[in-house]
Amino acid sequence: MARDCWCGCGRVLGRSDSRIAKRAFEAETHVAALRERHLPILVASDTDTSEFEEFIGYGEHLVGELLMVAHGELPADAVDRRGMNRWGKYAVRILRDSGPSGYALVRSYSPHDR
């Protein structure tokens, strides 16, 4: 079943491309929530936010790559799936946590660790 891409590009995506675009949407949702909920807490606590912003930036990068795959602009095997899955798991854990303790998770994060 074909669906319109959520990014507003106007493309109609097939089933597999729709699933990839859905993963991009979920990652985008996590990125937005991290920016809205956690970044202000870290700023208010006088914490250096550079690592956290780098973590969010990696999520934004993943969103872009996933959309490029869904749009047929990038081969699927070009995406670091392990890093993508790891980032998603960390993002969910951080979002469950409220407060600066999520920052400790970011400091322990590496997209390539096992």
Question: Could you give the CA distance from residue 59 to residue 27 in angstroms, rounded to a whole number?
Answer: 7
Provide the pLDDT for residue 114: 44
Q: Is residue 13 part of a domain?
A: no
Q: Is 10 inside any structural domain?
A: no
Say what the pTM is. 0.81
- For the segment 65-85, what is each residue's pLDDT rounded down to a tens digit? 999 999 999 999 999 999 999
Residue 7: inside a domain: no
The domain containing residue 29 runs over which residues?
A: 23-108
Phi, psi of 108 (to 5 degrees): -90, 0
In a domain, 16, yes or no: no
Domains: count for the chain: 1
Question: Would 12 be classed as within a structural domain?
Answer: no
- 3-class DSSP state for residue 85? helix
For residue 1, being part of any structural domain is answered with no
